[in-house]
Structure 1
Amino acid sequence: MTTTQLHLYRRLLREINRQFAPASKAKVWSAQLREQWLEASRNPEPNANNLMPAQNVLTFMSNNRQYKELLAEFNPKMSEGDRIEKTARRVGLEAPQSYDANTSSPPSS
């Protein structure tokens, strides 16, 4: 195995361990990766075309993890009313007051 292949294999293992918690059987994914990697490494002609699918998977997994982290950071869980108010403020509007039957009195004439 060349250093490039080994480096890519280690990065894939690290990404699998980051994304899959031990409760969700990261060991199963790691074992599957190891098995496929050993099978591919038995090929006497290692070339760049063999590494491209693994590099694509690694890129997808790391970008997907970063997307989820950013989504959690910038879109915290909030109620529907808060989300509507923040969306209205973002475009320069004010959301109308919502009607609450418990606290509102009927309009006086």
Structure 2
Amino acid sequence: MSTTPIPHLYRSLLRELRLASRLSRTKRNPAPIVQLRSLVASSSSAESLAKTFLETRDFLRASRIHGELLKRYNPIHGMSEEERIVATANRVGLNTPIEYKKE
């Protein structure tokens, strides 16, 4: 098992929660922090608590890195349907036609 002390794992887990959030500190939901504190208070084994913190931290880190890679290597990720069509057409050297709008 890991020899990393629990306070270090707790701080690294809080750091990953902060990096995963897009909101400022005052607008974040306090529920995850409250759950972590209750988990620490109700834990019977330091080893199981360390394992839970380690796995949760690794999951949050992998999710954050996956999102960053999606943004980097899939430039149309997160665009609306119209923006995606225009970007795809531009990528192959075409222009999308101007849509006719009845007035």
Identical residues among aligned pairs (%) = 26
- Extract unaligned runs of 5+ from structure 1: 103-109
- Extract unaligned runs of 5+ from structure 2: none
Q: Following TM superposition, by how much is the alpha carbon of 1:11 offset from its aligned partner in structure 2, in angstroms? A: 0.8
Cα distance change, pair 3–56 in 1 and its aligned pair in 2 (3 A): closer
TM-score (norm: length of structure 2): 0.58
- Partner of residue 22, structure 1: 26
Q: RMSD value over aligned CA atoms?
A: 3.3
TM-score (norm: length of structure 1): 0.56
Matched positions, count = 94
| Structure of higher RCO (CA pairs closer than 8 Å, 6+ residues apart) | 2
- Partner of residue 97, structure 2: 97
- Partner of residue 61, structure 2: 62
Cα distance change, pair 89–36 in 1 and its aligned pair in 2 (3 A): same
Cα distance change, pair 96–16 in 1 and its aligned pair in 2 (3 A): closer
2:35 to 27, 32, 35: 32
